[in-house]
A = this chain, B = another copy of it.
Amino acid sequence: MLKELEETRAPVPRVALAGRMAGNNPFITKLANFAPLSGEDRLLIDDASALQRTIPARTDLMPEGKLSSCFHLVISGFACRYKLLEHGRRHIVGYLVPGDCCDLHPVTMRTMDYSLATLTDCQIAEISADCMLSLAQRPAIADALRWSALVSEAILREWLVNIAGRPADQRVAHLLCELLLRLRAVGMDYGESFYLPLTQQQLAETLALSSVHVSRTFTRLRESGLINLRNKQLIIRDFEELAAFGGFNPNYLHLGSERRHSS
Contact = CB atoms under 8 A, between A and B. Distances in A.
Contacts of A85: 161, 165-166, 247
Interface stretch (A23-31, A108-116, A214-222): A108-116
A146 B107 contact: yes
Nearest to A157: B93
Interface range, A side: 35 or more
A65 B252 CA distance: 9
Given A143-B108, A157-B81, A165-B91, A113 B254 contact: yes
Given A81-B157, A157-B81, A110 B164 contact: no
A206 to B, nearest CB: 9
Residue of A113, A143, A251 contacting most chain B CB atoms (<10 Å): A113
B164 A208 contact: yes
A156 interface: yes
A157 B157 CA distance: 9
A159 interface: yes
Interface string A233-252: 00000000000000100011
Contacts of A159: 160
A114 B155 CA distance: 11
A83 interface: yes
Nearest to A105: B150
A154 interface: yes
A195 interface: no
Total copies of the chain? 2
Interface in A51-75: 64-65
A152 interface: yes
Contact of A154 (B113, B152, B160): B113
A260 interface: yes
B156 A153 contact: yes
Contacts of A150: 104-105, 108, 110
B254 A83 contact: no
B147 A108 contact: yes
Interface hub of A89, A161, A254 (most chain B Cβ within 10 A): A161
B111 A251 contact: yes
A188 interface: no
A208 B165 contact: yes
Interface in A99-131: 104-105, 107-111, 113-114
B114 A157 contact: yes
Q: Which 8 A-B pairs have the closest CB atoms?
A: A164-B208, A113-B252, A86-B247, A109-B260, A156-B156, A85-B165, A93-B157, A113-B154
